[in-house]
């Protein structure tokens, strides 16, 4: 690679601007942004006009550009740009978790066939170096579980509404103003964004490529004051927690659900936009990583770290996937859960395998027990229907 890297940047939103700032204020590492391709011609940008283009081919067809940094919103447009860049022998850095989760296999093959590098540390948990930790440190160890808080927006909303009594609308507005939320915050609050991140981590932790449609995601938008009351009575906090876990039959299950968190859990004090990842290895035991999971500068710093890694010729090896020894994927697992409901027919519909606690009140009821994840998936729409009538949380 040439001495001074030449970057073609797609997108100049929150993360693009963060990268620009971090790049211009880093003392140790130098790279030039040669061109920035953006969509909206009428937006004012703190960039020299000579840098701006509205034509993707100005980057893709420029032989001087070594690295394409893709930081746009639309996953399908991003897939086209990233694929074309890889086919043209350019290295790619992206922070686009939806693009990756939807197209992991194709992108894996493209970077391999074209002998280029595709890096995406910023796509999962912002500034936490979780992908490289899984790739480099845990590349040989069999992992038991990777779980945590992978979404800054929902953690910010839960912190502000539950701990600080802000309204949901105000907390979401703050998360948007601070640049944590996706352009469409449904992806955050309904748990799609952390699901995409869990799918990316499942590849590096277990060598598995899983389709997003096969993974259950329930977000924080079903939560009600009665769930918060239950949490405060028991001394719990509520967090949105993806889980990727190896089961006794050696298969791996993946799901995203809100969870009641005890004070003894590492995640209890992970608040605001912070993310936390707990990695459990067969021999190494438990590791806990915490850092800013969203925001312009922390995410920009993660992109810069990938660009710097590229300058040293770094590539993911995808060892666990490439060795084709990955365990199978399953949704056939019992989970310990709390279900809030308001009519007996709900229990006939969402059948628990085992009930250990039952509460019947005037306005709502709940049970605690075990339910098969497959049955939760079958009943996802039913649980989400008539928002706030029902909620399901892990325990």
The span of 22-30, 162-170, 175-183, 304-312 binding ligand HSE (CB under 6 A) equals 175-183
| φ, ψ at 144 (rounded to 5°) | -95, -35
Q: Number of residues interacting with ligand HSE: please give it, by CB under 6 A.
A: 11
Does the footprint of ligand HSE cover residue 151 (CB under 6 A)?
A: yes
CB of 192 to ligand HSE, least distance (A): 10
Q: State the DSSP string of 152-198.
A: HHHHHHHIIIIIS---HHHHHHHHHHTT-S-SSTHHHHTTHHHHHHH
d(CA 93, CA 116) in angstroms, rounded, equals 11
Residue 126 or residue 148: which is nearer to ligand HSE going by CB? 126
- Minimum CB–partner distance for residue 172 and ligand HSE (Å): 11
Is there a catalytic annotation at residue 56? no
Shortest Å, Cβ 310 to ligand HSE: 21
Task: Work out which of 294, 301, 303, 392 binds ligand HSE, going by CB under 6 A.
Answer: 294
Contact between 188 and ligand HSE per CB under 6 A: yes
From the candidates 34, 98, 145, 197, which is the catalytic residue?
Answer: 197
Q: Which of 181, 200, 278, 371 binds ligand HSE (CB under 6 A)?
A: 181
The DSSP H or E segment spanning 327 is: none
What residues between 118 and 147 interact with ligand HSE by CB under 6 A? Answer: 126
Q: Which stretch binds ligand HSE (CB under 6 A): 113-121, 176-184, 314-322, 333-341?
A: 176-184
**Chain centroid to CA 364:** 33
Work out whether 301 is an interface residue with ligand HSE (CB under 6 A).
no
The closest alpha carbon to 149, from 254, 259, 229, belongs to 259
Residues 12-51 that bind ligand HSE (CB under 6 A): none
Interface residues for ligand HSE in 212-241 (CB under 6 A)?
none
Residue 180 within binding range of ligand HSE, rule CB under 6 A: yes
CB of 294 to ligand HSE, least distance (A): 4
Q: What is the DSSP string of 200-241?
A: HHHHHHH-----GGGSEE--STT--HHHHHHHHHHT-EEEEE
* Residue 49, burial from CB neighbour count under 10 angstroms (0-12, 13-18, 19+): exposed
Closest approach of Cβ 291 to ligand HSE, in Å?
A: 12
Contact region for ligand HSE (CB under 6 A) — 85-93, 150-158, 218-226, 254-262? 150-158
Give the residue at shortest CB distance from ligand HSE: 153
Distance CA 29, CA 199 (A): 31
Q: What is the phi-psi region of residue 143: left when phi exceeds 0, alpha when psi lies from -120 to 50, beta otherwise?
A: beta
Tokens representing 149 are: 């808080």
Q: Look up tokens 């977000």; give the residue.
A: 219
Q: By the criterion CB under 6 A, which residues form the site for ligand HSE?
A: 126, 151-153, 180-182, 188, 193, 293-294
Active-site positions read 197
């Amino acid at each position: 690679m040439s001495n001074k890297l030449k970057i073609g940047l797609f997108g100049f939103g929150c993360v693009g601007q963060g990268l620009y700032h971090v790049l211009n204020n880093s003392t140790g590492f130098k790279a030039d942004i040669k061109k920035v391709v953006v969509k909206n011609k009428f937006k004012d940008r703190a960039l020299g006009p000579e840098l701006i283009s509205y034509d993707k081919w100005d980057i893709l067809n420029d032989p001087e550009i070594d690295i394409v940094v893709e930081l746009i919103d639309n996953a399908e447009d991003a897939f086209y740009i990233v694929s074309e860049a890889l086919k043209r022998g350019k290295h790619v850095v992206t922070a686009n978790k939806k693009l990756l989760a939807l197209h992991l296999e194709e992108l894996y093959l493209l970077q391999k066939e074209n002998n280029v590098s595709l890096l995406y540390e910023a796509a999962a948990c912002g500034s936490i170096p979780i992908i490289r930790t899984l790739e480099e440190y845990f590349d040989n160890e069999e992992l038991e579980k990777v779980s945590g808080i992978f979404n800054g927006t929902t953690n910010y909303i839960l912190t502000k509404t539950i701990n600080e009594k802000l309204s949901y609308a105000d907390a979401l507005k703050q998360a948007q103003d601070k640049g944590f939320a996706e352009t469409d915050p449904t992806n955050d609050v309904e748990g799609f964004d952390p699901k995409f991140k869990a799918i990316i981590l499942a590849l590096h932790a277990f060598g598995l490529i899983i389709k997003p449609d096969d993974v259950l995601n329930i977000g924080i938008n079903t939560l009600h004051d009665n769930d918060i009351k239950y949490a405060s009575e028991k001394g719990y906090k509520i967090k949105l927690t993806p889980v990727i876990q190896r089961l006794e039959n050696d298969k791996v299950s993946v799901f995203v659900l809100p969870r009641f968190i005890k004070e003894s859990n590492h995640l209890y004090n992970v608040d605001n936009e912070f993310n936390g990842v707990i990695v459990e290895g067969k021999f190494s035991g438990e590791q806990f990583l915490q850092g800013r999971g969203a925001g312009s500068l922390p995410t920009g710093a993660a992109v810069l770290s990938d660009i710097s890694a590229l300058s040293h010729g770094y590539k993911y090896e995808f060892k666990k996937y490439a060795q084709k020894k990955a365990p199978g994927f399953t949704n056939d697992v019992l989970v310990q859960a709390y279900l809030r409901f308001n009519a007996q027919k709900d229990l006939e519909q969402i059948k628990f395998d085992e009930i250990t606690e039952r509460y019947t009140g005037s306005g709502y009821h709940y049970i605690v027990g075990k339910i098969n994840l497959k049955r939760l998936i079958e009943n996802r729409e039913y649980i989400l229907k008539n928002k706030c009538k029902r909620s399901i949380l892990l325990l």
